[in-house]
Amino acid sequence: MLDIHKIRTDFPILSQKVNGKPLVYFDNGATSQKPQVVIDAISNYYKDINANIHRGVHTLSQLATDAYEASRNTIQNHINAKFSHEVIFTSGTTHGINLVANGFASILKPGDEVLVSAIEHHSNIVPWQMLCEKTGAVLKVIPMNEKGELILSEFDKLLSEKTKFVTVNHISNALGTINPIKYIIDKAHEFDAAILIDGAQAVSHLKPNVQELDCDFYAFSGHKMFGPTGTGILYGKEAWLNKLPPYQGGGEMIKEVSFEKTTYAELPHKFEAGTPNIADGIALGAAVDYINAIGIANIQEQEKELLEYGTKRLLEIEGLKIFGTAEAKTSVISFNIEGIHPYDIGTIVDKLGIAVRTGHHCAQPIMNFFQIPGTIRASFAFYNTKEEIDVMVEAVKRAKLMLS
Ligand SMILES: *Cc1c(COP(=O)(O)O)cnc(C)c1O
């Protein structure tokens, strides 16, 4: 078992008081907190080796380049990509998804079909709608059931030779559902469709193995896995990345430029135009090392306990309903209390030092499905404790009394 109280000292922010109360941070689904090693990686870069990468022959430039590329290798190993050049640094999941959607504008034809699921974040809906508008392709939606699980028999029926692209998230940010992505990937491939997995929520809870999954693309953000904001990774299979056109033009992504013709750099640089976010990219590698030092199995064990305990305690509250009750679920609890607006509860518990998310969680179609304006979402990380859950439950009870 993890020594949670010791682990919490790795995260300076967790010992803070908010509104005079000890901070209870249950908004990990929106962004996770950062351990000192990640914070240090950022400041050490600026203190010791700040220089632009891939360009200079001078020593600092080489040190910075080595550190940045070492981070890429760390991430490659973490997700088990075959080649380091299949690991593209981005500014986040949204950037990665748009890069792929933009690339498919030159591949899709009118009448082709793109499948997304009913359980997606807006980041994994809107770029595909834009792609369909541009190309005349048709967007189809894999439906979900009342528990917040995708209905696989309906997915099977939607697949046809018209299906050119499929995309689903690995874990839903709004409901916590863990989707059966291996099944979905294999089925998509039976129809020769390419598939992207939105791993934004998954990377803090599990360790995706992209070769075993056999997905064509896997996108995620650094800030949701204890790394810095403004970082992310797009994994893509080499063959697909070679096939897609560059997303942005600029420095770094070219081989040769003349006014007649420009040729593009090899992977991964073809997709990394301009000076990247060097310090934070290096710190993302530190975050991955930190996760592995804690151990994914330990993280999962702790989070499973928090999910079970939090679910049980919250359901003691009369009139409380949990949205997202999938069999396979991660440590996210989305709930409402009958007759009370989620925003009002969020505001009151904040006064008591508790950070939860309220609203539609960038997943309005899910809220429409349940016919609710939004939910209160408590999303736990391994550094959270049962005592913090007790504090939240008491606060929610108090808010309920005040509001009803
Ligand atoms: C957070 C999130 C995104 C978007 O991530 P950004 O870091 O904002 O780019 C996409 N999909 C899911 C499931 C998310 O949770």
Is the pLDDT at 56 greater than 90? The verdict is: no
Is the pLDDT at 285 greater than 90? The verdict is: yes
3-state secondary structure (DSSP) of residue 190? helix
Q: What pTM, to 2 d.p., does this model score? A: 0.98
Q: Which of 2, 139, 362, 403 is catalytic?
A: 362
CA 198 – ligand 1 centroid, Å: 8
Identify the residues whose C-beta falls under 6 Å from ligand 1: 92-94, 121, 123-124, 169, 173, 198, 200-201, 221
- With the most atoms of ligand 1 within 8 angstroms of its CB, the residue from 362, 364, 366, 379 to mutate is 362
The CATH number of 4-30+295-403 is: 3.90.1150.10
At 293-318, the pLDDT tens digits run: 999 999 999 999 999 999 999 999 99
At 307-354, the pLDDT tens digits run: 999 999 999 999 999 999 999 999 999 999 999 999 999 999 999 999
The segment(s) of the chain belonging to CATH 3.40.640.10 are 39-292
Angle in degrees, CA 121, 245, 56, rounded to 5: 100
**Residues with Cβ < 8 Å from 11, sequence gap 6 or more?**
33, 34, 35, 36, 383
Furthest C-alpha separation in the chain: 72
pLDDT of residue 393: 98
Angle in degrees, CA 351, 356, 4, rounded to 5: 100
Is the pLDDT at 144 greater than 90? The verdict is: yes
pLDDT of residue 163: 98
CA 224 – ligand 1 centroid, Å: 8
Closest CA to 35 of 288, 221, 305, 205: 288
Nearest atom in ligand 1 to 232's CA? 7
- With the most atoms of ligand 1 within 8 angstroms of its CB, the residue from 173, 205, 218, 233 to mutate is 173
CA dihedral sign of residues 395, 398, 402, 404: positive
Whole-number mean pLDDT of the chain? 97
Nearest atom in ligand 1 to 91's CA? 9
At 70-129, the pLDDT tens digits run: 999 999 999 999 999 999 999 999 999 999 999 999 999 999 999 999 999 999 999 999
Is the pLDDT at 404 greater than 90? The verdict is: no
Nearest atom in ligand 1 to 31's CA? 1
Model confidence band, residue 28 (pLDDT cutoffs 50, 70, 90): very high
CA 90 – ligand 1 centroid, Å: 13
- With the most atoms of ligand 1 within 8 angstroms of its CB, the residue from 31, 90, 91, 93 to mutate is 93
Q: Is 29 exposed, middle or buried (0-12, 13-18, 19+ CB in 10 A)?
A: buried
**Topology, domain 39-292:** Aspartate Aminotransferase; domain 2 (3.40.640)
Q: Could you say which DSSP state residue 30 is in? A: T
In the residue annotation, 215 being an active-site residue is answered as no
CA 229 – ligand 1 centroid, Å: 11
Model confidence band, residue 55 (pLDDT cutoffs 50, 70, 90): confident
Structure tokens at 255: 């081989």
pLDDT of residue 1: 80
CA 175 – ligand 1 centroid, Å: 14
The segment(s) of the chain belonging to CATH 3.90.1150.10 are 4-30+295-403
The answer to whether the CB of 74 falls within 8 A of the CB of 89 is: no
Q: In this structure, how many other beta carbons lie within 10 angstroms of the beta carbon of residue 43? A: 11
